[in-house]
Amino acid sequence: MIDTARAKTHAKTHLIVGDGTTAVAFLEKCALESGDRLILLGKNIAELGRGAAYAKGEAGTPWRYAYLLNSPADDIDREFARWLSDNWQSIQSTMADRTPNWLASAQPLVDAGNIHGLNAPREFYGDFMVEHTEKVLAALRIKGVQVELINDEATAIDTSDAGNLVQTNANGVIYADSADIAPGGPSTLRIEGDEGAFAVPNVFGFEAQIAEHIKAGREIFCIGGNAAMLDVLRLCQSLLPDADVKLAFCAPDGEVPAALIPRLPRKLTIPSFSKGHATAESFLKEVRREIDAALARGDEMREIRAGFRAHFLENPLSAYITNANEARIVPATLRFWLRGGTRDTIQDLHGFIKSGQARIVTGLVQKVEHGADGATVHVIDASGAVTQDETGFVINTAGAGPNSRYDPLTEDMLSKGLIHNCPISKGLKVGAGLRTALPSVRHLSPATTVIGDEVMAMPLYDVHMLRHFVAKA
Ligand SMILES: Cc1cc2nc3c(=O)[nH]c(=O)nc-3n(C[C@H](O)[C@H](O)[C@H](O)COP(=O)(O)OP(=O)(O)OC[C@H]3O[C@@H](n4cnc5c(N)ncnc54)[C@H](O)[C@@H]3O)c2cc1C
């Protein structure tokens, strides 16, 4: 049992909850001195830095290293792009003879001196983050900070004269003078019938079960057409020759996200907006105009997306829209217009659509029914008409939605009013500097949409954005 009692001898105890990239961003900001105590608490603390997205894959599985980053390496993190170049030889040997053939798809960029533009396997970003985290921890230890790593889940937080009291599953109550909470986003929304003989409620963690159905030759039907659907395609390709892949996906707009192409020299679209908009509608008209103008000039979606992202990091929505509630309407549309994803997978997907091996179903899935040898998916379209789609096996890749849940600590903080749900932008709302109602406790999640007076124009999904807001806090 770890001694988590408040240690009077230590000048200060700081707690970080979470083990992903945001926890590491908070770690980098730690202003602790010799004799202070730092507690890092996460459900997979031995892999601090990976979190949900960059997990270590299971050795020996065909799908290990199949899932790719959504953006070119240097859009994710310049240091990571350098790491990728520096480690290129060992990466080549790790990726040799893998299906799909990531190295072959990388070769034209490598030949053009554009390793920094590759969509690397996500596990490599995890490797980089773990190495980086070890260096940050070593520097704190050398400074004399007492560092403790605890593998556990935080479930609740309260405050007392002794400081903040964080309840855990296995280690009782942890006392901390201050805390940074980085618990990740909410669960995937559940859809009636998404767990059963011919459906699973998520791709991650269900690969072995899904693999049986892929290998049996069933069509794989994804509920949702975003990043997790692209991961499912990679999973299929890791198990079957391309000629045998059969995929369907259902998305409200029935469109494939744009591939983020990393041209050289790198360029960012620079948008220009006028100030003083009274409504979201009026501002969005200008945004649309700027996107269309950039597309007409021949800008790639990577250039537009990264350019807008950089612009909104420097110029918050409040600079353009006078009414905060109107500003909160903007992110949902921007997210949709600036959708983009992994170059390799999207290019493959277009090929499968062309050959008739992948099909798009337009609408929203209402429920899944299980038959003797497959599933029936009930889909409602924009006109309200419901159709039934027969398929082999269904995977819920819908992402978060109305019935999603956060981790227990975040749910506890919401129930106590320490942080809030924003009913308009449908994300989490924290105070300026990521403050919660407890003055020495901060909270940041990819689902955070409002920070103080600032509305996040683009979702904090991208790792770069999360790190930016921690650095700024
Ligand atoms: C499958 C997937 C793929 C993604 N791909 C990309 C990509 O290609 N590019 C990109 O920019 N972004 C991507 N993202 C977005 C990603 O969420 C962010 O990039 C970023 O890594 C989020 O980091 P985080 O630390 O905030 O959250 P997480 O990575 O979710 O980490 C939070 C960690 O804290 C732990 N935890 C949660 N609650 C508690 C608790 N109460 N007590 C203790 N521990 C807790 C969780 O187990 C988790 O490991 C992806 C996300 C997912 C889920």
Residue ending a domain, choose from 65, 93, 120: 120
d(C-alpha 393, C-alpha 452), whole Å:
44
User: Does ligand 1 have an atom closer than 6 angstroms to the CB of 413?
Assistant: no
The per-residue DSSP string of 158-174 comes to: EEETTEEEEEESSS-EE
User: Does ligand 1 have an atom closer than 6 angstroms to the CB of 18?
Assistant: yes
pLDDT digit string (tens) for 68-81?
999 999 999 999 99
| Cβ-Cβ contacts under 8 Å for 254 (sequence gap 6 or more) | 225, 360, 361, 362, 363
Tell which residue, 35, 34, 40, 51, has the closest CA to residue 14. Answer: 40
The reported pLDDT for the residue numbered 9 is 56
The DSSP 8-state label assigned to residue 252 in this structure reads S
d(C-alpha 67, C-alpha 55), whole Å:
10
Phi, psi for 447 (deg, rounded to 5): -90, 0
156 in the same domain as 263 = no
**Looking at the domain assignment, is residue 345 inside a domain?**
yes
Question: To which H or E segment does residue 249 belong?
Answer: strand 247-251
Decide if 51 contacts 18 (C-beta within 8 A).
Answer: yes
Give me 117's structure tokens: 């533009």
The reported pLDDT for the residue numbered 162 is 81
**Looking at the domain assignment, is residue 387 inside a domain?**
yes
d(C-alpha 76, C-alpha 117), whole Å:
10
d(C-alpha 196, C-alpha 200), whole Å:
7
Domain harbouring 180, CATH code: 3.50.50.60
User: Does ligand 1 have an atom closer than 6 angstroms to the CB of 399?
Assistant: no
pLDDT digit string (tens) for 134-178?
999 999 999 999 999 999 999 999 999 889 999 999 999 999 999
Residue 357 has pLDDT above 70, yes or no: yes
User: Does ligand 1 have an atom closer than 6 angstroms to the CB of 434?
Assistant: no
User: Looking up tokens 């899944």, which residue turns up?
Assistant: 368
CA 329 / ligand 1 centre spacing (Å) = 25
Give me 315's structure tokens: 């110029």
User: Does ligand 1 have an atom closer than 6 angstroms to the CB of 43?
Assistant: yes
426 in the same domain as 301 = no
How many domains are contained in the chain?
Answer: 4
210 in the same domain as 170 = no
Give me 341's structure tokens: 């994803």
User: Looking up tokens 């090929």, which residue turns up?
Assistant: 351
**Looking at the domain assignment, is residue 320 inside a domain?**
yes
CA 52 / ligand 1 centre spacing (Å) = 4
Residue 240 has pLDDT above 80, yes or no: yes
pLDDT digit string (tens) for 31-49?
999 999 999 999 999 999 9
156 in the same domain as 115 = no
How confident is residue 6, by pLDDT bands cut at 50, 70 and 90? low
Residue 8 has pLDDT above 80, yes or no: no
pLDDT digit string (tens) for 408-437?
999 999 999 999 999 999 999 999 999 999
**Looking at the domain assignment, is residue 66 inside a domain?**
no
146 in the same domain as 230 = no
Least confident of 4-18, 22-36, 319-333: 4-18
Decide if 387 contacts 379 (C-beta within 8 A).
Answer: yes
| Peptide bond between residue 446 and the one before it cis (omega within 30 degrees of 0) | no
CA 321 / ligand 1 centre spacing (Å) = 30
292 in the same domain as 233 = no
**Looking at the domain assignment, is residue 302 inside a domain?**
yes
The minimum-distance atom of ligand 1 relative to the CA of 409 is 41
**Looking at the domain assignment, is residue 8 inside a domain?**
no
**Any long-range contacts for 128-131 (C-beta under 8 Å, 24+ apart)?**
128/77, 128/79, 128/80, 128/83, 128/84, 129/21, 129/24, 129/49, 129/50, 129/54, 130/47, 130/48, 130/49, 130/50, 131/83
Q: Output the residue whose Cα is nearest ligand 1's atom 10.
A: 462
d(C-alpha 81, C-alpha 73), whole Å:
5
Residue 403 has pLDDT above 90, yes or no: no
User: Does ligand 1 have an atom closer than 6 angstroms to the CB of 368?
Assistant: no
pLDDT digit string (tens) for 276-316?
999 999 999 999 999 999 999 999 999 999 999 999 999 99
User: Does ligand 1 have an atom closer than 6 angstroms to the CB of 248?
Assistant: no
How confident is residue 5, by pLDDT bands cut at 50, 70 and 90? low
ipTM over 0.85: yes
User: Does ligand 1 have an atom closer than 6 angstroms to the CB of 407?
Assistant: yes
The minimum-distance atom of ligand 1 relative to the CA of 70 is 8
465 in the same domain as 410 = yes
d(C-alpha 253, C-alpha 232), whole Å:
19
User: Looking up tokens 């921690």, which residue turns up?
Assistant: 470
170 in the same domain as 316 = no
**Looking at the domain assignment, is residue 65 inside a domain?**
no
Q: Output the residue whose Cα is nearest ligand 1's atom 27.
A: 184
274 in the same domain as 321 = yes
The reported pLDDT for the residue numbered 402 is 84
In the three-class reduction of DSSP (H, G, I as helix; E, B as strand; rest coil), residue 330 is classed as: helix
**Looking at the domain assignment, is residue 64 inside a domain?**
no
pLDDT digit string (tens) for 215-234?
999 999 999 999 999 999 99
Domain that holds residue 77: 73-120
The reported pLDDT for the residue numbered 123 is 98
CA 469 / ligand 1 centre spacing (Å) = 15
Q: Is the dihedral of CA 416, 420, 421, 427 positive or negative?
A: negative
Mean of per-residue pLDDT scores for the chain: 95
User: Does ligand 1 have an atom closer than 6 angstroms to the CB of 438?
Assistant: no
The per-residue DSSP string of 334-384 comes to: HHHHT-EE-HHHHHHHHHHHHTTSEEEEESEEEEEEE-SSSEEEEEE-TTS
The minimum-distance atom of ligand 1 relative to the CA of 460 is 18
How confident is residue 1, by pLDDT bands cut at 50, 70 and 90? very low
Mean pLDDT of the 185-213 span: 97
284 in the same domain as 213 = no
84 in the same domain as 147 = no
Residue ending a domain, choose from 356, 377, 396: 396
Decide if 325 contacts 424 (C-beta within 8 A).
Answer: yes
Give me 353's structure tokens: 């659509």
pLDDT digit string (tens) for 51-109?
999 999 999 999 999 999 999 999 999 999 999 999 999 999 999 999 999 999 999 99
CA 185 / ligand 1 centre spacing (Å) = 7
Residue 112 has pLDDT above 70, yes or no: yes
The per-residue DSSP string of 385-399 comes to: -EEEEEESEEEE---
d(C-alpha 473, C-alpha 443), whole Å:
11
In the three-class reduction of DSSP (H, G, I as helix; E, B as strand; rest coil), residue 92 is classed as: helix
Mean pLDDT of the 223-252 span: 97
Mean pLDDT of the 373-400 span: 96
Tell which residue, 362, 128, 161, 350, has the closest CA to residue 258. Answer: 350
Question: To which H or E segment does residue 303 belong?
Answer: helix 301-314
Give percent above pLDDT 90 in the chain. 94
Residue ending a domain, choose from 338, 364, 384: 338
100 in the same domain as 77 = yes
User: Does ligand 1 have an atom closer than 6 angstroms to the CB of 446?
Assistant: yes
Mean pLDDT of the 330-349 span: 93
